[in-house]
Amino acid sequence: MAPNYQSNLIKMTIQDAQTKVDEWVNTTGVRYFNELTNMALLTEEVGEVARIIARKYGEQSFKKSDEEIDLADEFADVFFVLICLANQTGIDLTEALRRNLLKKETRDKERHRNNIKLKNQ
């Protein structure tokens, strides 16, 4: 029996998301695509986000076929495939993000405050 995602998606941690994606892949999705296929899919999904951003915030205009595209849904597609890749390569995204933020807090503590390019805007 497939899990009920509707009622369980109100608030979740990154670990919850990794678990839910894994459940979905192993029930509805049958199995994970291989890592190379998922990398290609991630690139494709990021391209879809880029297309929307270029049209909504950049100088390109929307095509008639692009007008109904939902940026939030496209971000979720990117996140879904990223979670798939993390799951199949054994990465705990919560821990990876925690370590990454700690690195940024240490490495970049003064870097952006002292960046003249950021102060002039």
Dump the DSSP string for 87-104.
Answer: HHTT--HHHHHHHHHHHH
Q: Which pLDDT score is estimated for 8?
A: 56
pTM above 0.85, yes or no: no
Is 83 in the same domain as 33? yes
Q: How far is CA 110 from CA 5, 12, 17, 107, 118, in A?
A: 42, 32, 33, 8, 12
Is 81 in the same domain as 33? yes
Is 45 in the same domain as 97? no
In a domain, 55, yes or no: yes
> The domain containing residue 101 runs over which residues?
93-121
Predicted confidence (pLDDT) at residue 74 exceeds the cutoff of 90? yes
Predicted confidence (pLDDT) at residue 115 exceeds the cutoff of 80? yes
Is 80 in the same domain as 109? no
How do residues 4-58 score in pLDDT, each as one tens digit?
A: 555 555 789 999 999 999 999 999 999 999 999 999 999 999 999 999 999 999 9
In a domain, 83, yes or no: yes
Q: Which pLDDT score is estimated for 16?
A: 96
